[in-house]
């Protein structure tokens, strides 16, 4: 068995002892080329991400793997996708649609494909563990709408059975759902029973959820910018221009708005994202905590600039 992992040091020793490790991102062509060499089957799951587009999250990330599967003629692929294929909303369901198109991309390689079509994971509730400790859960869906759910361990068991099998052929999706459909009010009631204290589900407008996602994307972009900055240090052995930042700002930036300058506005964009979160949410805590207070988690650039300029 061969496993792709970004940091092998984070794997339990028991797994490292039983598997061949390939370090890196499975969205990297060189990494998947090494990992897929002589493979009889591939298990494929796109990692959760706050990419700029839905296609980036699933389709573009998967392209290097699909090319390697085609080139190496890998016979079987098990891929995690979402429920929705064949429904009236298949082509207009956001990330669900993108995950279905990801499976189509892998099907185009000619391999035998099983798409494990998943509903929401039971483990998703753990993303709100802090709120649950306070007796609350939040989400944009109708609290009484019953939906299928499944556990990741069931997905793992189904995947293992398919990967070990050598006789299956063709291309199809296999829905994998739990024993009963549950509403979020049902889930809150189950949590209340298990924890021996009341947990209530609160529906929040989708625009609040979208605002939190946008703010998280902003933070991700800033972190990537900082990583690129660190990586650029090694290039400083080349030619160095004679203009430093202080001189450039003195020459080109004029005071605006009661002594504040455009330079300070630029500085605001590069400031710690905790400042942005504080302006957007009234707190540096995560968006779900802002939901709990009923605040509107929409990041307003002017407010951020003003907050930083006033500090």
The yes-or-no verdict on residue 102 having pLDDT over 50 is yes
Q: What number of H helices and E strands is found in the chain?
A: 14, 12
- Other CB atoms within 10 Å distance of the CB of residue 169: 9
Tell me the pLDDT of the chain averaged across its residues.
Answer: 77
DSSP per-residue letters across 8-29: GGGS-HHHHHHSEEEES-TTSH
pLDDT 10s digits, 18-45: 999 999 999 999 999 999 999 999 999 9
pTM for this one? 0.66
3-class state of residue 22 by DSSP: strand
What domains appear along the chain, each with residue ranges and CATH number?
A: 39-118+148-177 (3.40.50.720), 119-144+182-203 (no CATH), 206-225+255-309 (no CATH)
Q: For 154-199, how does the pLDDT look when each residue is reduced to its tens digit (9 = 90+)?
A: 999 999 999 999 999 999 999 999 999 999 999 999 999 999 999 9
DSSP class of 46: P
Confidence of residue 264 (pLDDT cuts 50, 70, 90): very low
As given in the structure block, the two tokens for residue 190 are 């189950």
Q: Which residue shows structure tokens 């024993």?
A: 179
Q: Which residues on adjacent β-strands are paired with residue 169?
A: none
Q: Parallel, antiparallel, or unpaired for β 112-118 and 171-175?
A: parallel
Question: Residue 207: which residues within 8 A CB-CB, separation 6 or more?
Answer: 298
C-alpha angle with apex 284: 279 to 285, nearest 5 degrees? 130
- Tokens 């016979």 label which residue? 75
Which 8-state DSSP code applies to residue 147? B
């Amino acid at each position: 068995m061969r496993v792709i992992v970004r940091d092998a040091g984070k794997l339990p020793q028991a797994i490292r002892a039983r598997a061949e490790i390939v370090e890196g991102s499975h969205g990297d062509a060189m990494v998947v080329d090494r990992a897929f060499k002589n493979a009889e089957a591939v298990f494929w799951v796109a990692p959760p991400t706050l990419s700029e587009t839905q296609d980036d999250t699933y389709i573009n990330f998967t392209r290097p793997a699909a090319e390697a599967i085609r080139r190496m003629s890998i016979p079987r692929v098990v891929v995690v996708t979402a429920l929705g294929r064949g429904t009236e909303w298949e082509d207009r369901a956001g990330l669900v649609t993108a995950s279905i198109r990801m499976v189509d991309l892998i099907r185009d390689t000619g391999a035998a494909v099983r798409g494990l079509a998943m509903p929401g994971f039971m483990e998703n509730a753990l993303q709100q563990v802090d709120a649950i400790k306070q007796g609350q859960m939040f989400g944009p869906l109708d609290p009484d709408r019953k939906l299928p759910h499944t556990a990741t361990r069931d997905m793992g068991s189904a995947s293992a059975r398919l990967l070990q099998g050598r006789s299956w052929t063709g291309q199809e999706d296999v829905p994998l759902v739990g024993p009963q459909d549950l509403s979020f009010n049902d889930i809150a009631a189950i949590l209340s029973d298990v924890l021996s204290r009341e947990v209530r589900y609160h529906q929040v407008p989708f625009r609040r959820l979208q605002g939190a996602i946008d703010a998280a994307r902003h933070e991700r972009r800033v972190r990537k910018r900082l990583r690129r900055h660190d990586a650029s240090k090694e290039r400083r052995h080349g030619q160095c221009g004679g203009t430093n930042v202080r001189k450039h700002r003195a020459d080109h930036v004029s005071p605006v708005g009661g002594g504040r300058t455009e330079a300070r506005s630029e500085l605001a964009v590069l400031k710690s994202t905790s400042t942005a979160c504080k302006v957007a949410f009234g707190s540096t805590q995560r968006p779900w905590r802002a939901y709990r207070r009923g605040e509107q988690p929409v990041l307003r650039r002017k407010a951020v600039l003003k907050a930083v300029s006033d500090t």
